[in-house]
Chains A and B, each alone.
Chain A
Amino acid sequence: MGIEERLGYNILTTTLEKLVDWGRKSSLWPATFGLACCAIEMICTAANRWDIARFGMEAFRASPRQADLMIVAGTVCKKMMPAIERIYEQMPEPKWVIAMGACATSGGIFDSYSVVQGIDLYLPVDVYIPGCPPRPEGLLYGILKLHEKILKDPFLTRQYQERLKARQEAA
Chain B
Amino acid sequence: MTSIATMPRTETMMLNLGPQHPSTHGVLRVLLELDGELIVRADPDIGYLHRGIEKLCEYRTYHKCMPLMNRLDYLAGEANNFGFCLAVEKLLGIEVPKRAQYIRVMLAELTRIASHLFWLGTHGHDLGAMTPLFYAFREREKIMDLCEMVSGGRLFPLYFRIGGLAADLPAGFLPAVWDFVKTFDEKWQDYDTLLTENEIWKERTVGVGVMTAEEALDWGWSGPMARGSGVDWDLRRDNPYSSYEEFEFEVPLGTKAGDTYSRYLVRMAEMLQSNRIVRQVLENLPDGPVKVDDPRVSLPPKERVYTDIA
Enumerate chain A interface residues (CB-CB to B < 8 A). Answer: 32-37, 39-41, 43-44, 47-49, 62, 74-75, 77, 79-80, 83, 87, 109-115, 132-133, 135
B154 close to chain A: CB less than 8 A: yes
B interface, CB within 8 angstroms of A: 18-22, 24, 26-27, 47-53, 55-56, 67-68, 71, 74-75, 118, 121-122, 133-134, 137-138, 140-141, 144, 154-156
Give chain A residues whose Cβ lies under 8 Å from the Cβ of B48. 35, 77, 79-80, 83
How many A-B contacts are there with CB distance less than 8 Å?
92
Complex CA distance for A36 and B20, rounded to whole angstroms: 12
A88 to B19, CA, bound (A): 14
Which one, B51, B56, B154, contacts A77 given CB within 8 A?
B51
Taking a contact as CB atoms closer than 8 A, the residue among A48, A83, A132 that contacts B19 in the complex is A83
Extra pairs beyond A39-B24, A47-B137 (6, CB < 8 Å) = A35-B27, A36-B71, A83-B18, A83-B20, A109-B67, A113-B55
* Nearest CB in chain B to that of A83: its residue: B19
23 contacts between A and B (CB under 8 A): A32-B20, A35-B48, A36-B26, A36-B71, A37-B156, A43-B122, A47-B133, A47-B134, A48-B138, A49-B137, A62-B22, A77-B47, A77-B51, A79-B48, A80-B48, A83-B48, A109-B67, A110-B52, A112-B56, A113-B52, A115-B52, A133-B155, A135-B154
* Interface residue from A33, A34, A75, A87 paired with B51 (Cβ < 8 Å): A75
Residue in chain B with minimal CB distance to A107: B51
The reply to whether A35 and B67 contact each other, CB–CB distance below 8 Å, is: no
By a CB distance below 8 angstroms, the chain B residues around A115 are 51-52
8 Å CB contact of B50 from A32, A74, A77: A77
Q: Collect the chain B residues with CB atoms within 8 Å of residue A114's CB.
A: 50-52
What is the distance, in angstroms, from B127's C-beta to the closest C-beta of chain A? 15
Q: How far, in Å, is B224 (CB) from chain A's closest CB?
A: 19
- Give the CA-CA distance A75 to B48 in the complex, in Å: 9
Instruction: Report the minimum CB–CB distance from B116 to chain A (whole Å).
Output: 14
Chain B residues near A40 (CB-CB < 8 A): 74-75, 118, 155
Contact A112 B52 (CB under 8 A): yes
Distance in angstroms from A100 CB to nearest chain B CB is 13
Find chain B residues with CB under 8 A from A110 CB.
51-53, 56
Given contacts A75-B51, A112-B56, contact A44 B24 (CB under 8 A): no
